[in-house]
Amino acid sequence: DQQVKQNSPSLSVQEGRISILNCDYTNSMFDYFLWYKKYPAEGPTFLISISSIKDKNEDGRFTVFLNKSAKHLSLHIVPSQPGDSAVYFCAARILNTNAGKSTFGDGTTLTVKP
Amino acid sequence: DTEVTQTPKHLVMGMTNKKSLKCEQHMGHRAMYWYKQKAKKPPELMFVYSYEKLSINESVPSRFSPECPNSSLLNLHLHALQPEDSALYLCASSQDPVAPLGSLSYNEQFFGPGTRLTVL
C-alpha cells in the first residue's frame, strides 16, 4: 500500500512558466510534508516543507499548498528555470512518532526547457 | 559545516566480500538514517539511529548491519550481499528525530551524495 503517490512520473515546462508538481497521500495521520529535489549522482536536497496546521508555505520561487480534506499537496515553482530540472520527491511524516521516518513518493522528473 | 559526507562514492564487491559504508556529519544532528534507492524509485528507509541508538529497523536482512560509533558517524557493514542489493545507499541526518511541532526545521533531513554499490 503506497501511502504517498506522485502520479506524474515526468513534467516538461518552458522556462519562465509555472511548474506544478502534485502529491497525494492516503494516511490521514501524516501531519508534516516535505519536498526534496534530487540531481543525478547526488543525494536529495531539502526544498520546502509544510505542516498540517497550514495550507500554504512560500519560500522564494517555491510555494507548497496543502489541501487536507483532499489529502493533496502541490509544489509550485514560479518562474521555472533550467536549473530546476531534477527529480522532485514528496515525503510525509507523522511528527513525534516513528523516530524520524519519512514516507516518500516515487518522484516526478521535471524538465525545464530554455 | 552543513554537509553529510559518504565514503566510498562507488563500491564493487563480490557476494562473499565484507565491506563497510561510512557516513559522517558535523552538524550536531542526533538522528541519522540509512536509505536504499533503486533506479527511478524513491529512497527506501532501512535504519534510523536516534541519539546513537537504533530506533528503526525496517525489516532489513541481517547481511546489512548498521553501527553508530558516535553521534557524528554512521556505518553500514555489508556481508554476503546479493546482486539485487546493488543500489545507491544514502545516508541522512536531522537535528532531532522527534522534534515537536514548534521546531519543524529539526525534521529536515540532510542527505549525503550516496554510495553507488554494485554486487557481482
What amino acid is encoded at A34 in this protein? L
Contacts with B112 from chain A: Cβ below 8 Å: 43
B48 forms beta bridges with B33, B56
Verify whether the Cβ–Cβ distance A105 to B42 is below 8 Å.
Answer: yes
How would residue B109 be classed by pLDDT, with cut points 50, 70 and 90?
Answer: confident
Q: Tell me, rounded to whole angstroms, the distance of Cα B35 from its chain centroid.
A: 5
Nearest CA in chain B to A91: B42
User: Is residue B102 over pLDDT 70?
Assistant: no
Would you call B104 helix, strand, or coil by DSSP? Answer: helix
What is the model's pLDDT at position B117?
96
Task: Quote the minimal CA–CA distance from B99 to chain A in Å.
Answer: 6
Give me the DSSP letters along A4-71: EE---SEEEEETTS-EEEEEEE--TT--EEEEEEE-TTS--EEEEEEETT-SEEEETTEEEEEETTTT
CB-closest option in B6, B94, B107 to A95? B107
Q: Which range, of B4-18, B46-60, B98-112, averages the lowest pLDDT?
A: B98-112
Q: Bigger pLDDT: B112 or B105?
A: B112
DSSP state of B71: T
| Cell numbers given for B21 | 559504508
Whether A45 contacts chain B with CB within 8 A: yes
Nearest to B67 by CA among B54, B86, B50, B58: B54
Nearest to A40 by CA among B75, B86, B116: B116
CB-closest option in A44, A45, A99 to B43? A44
Verify whether the Cβ–Cβ distance B112 to A43 is below 8 Å.
Answer: yes
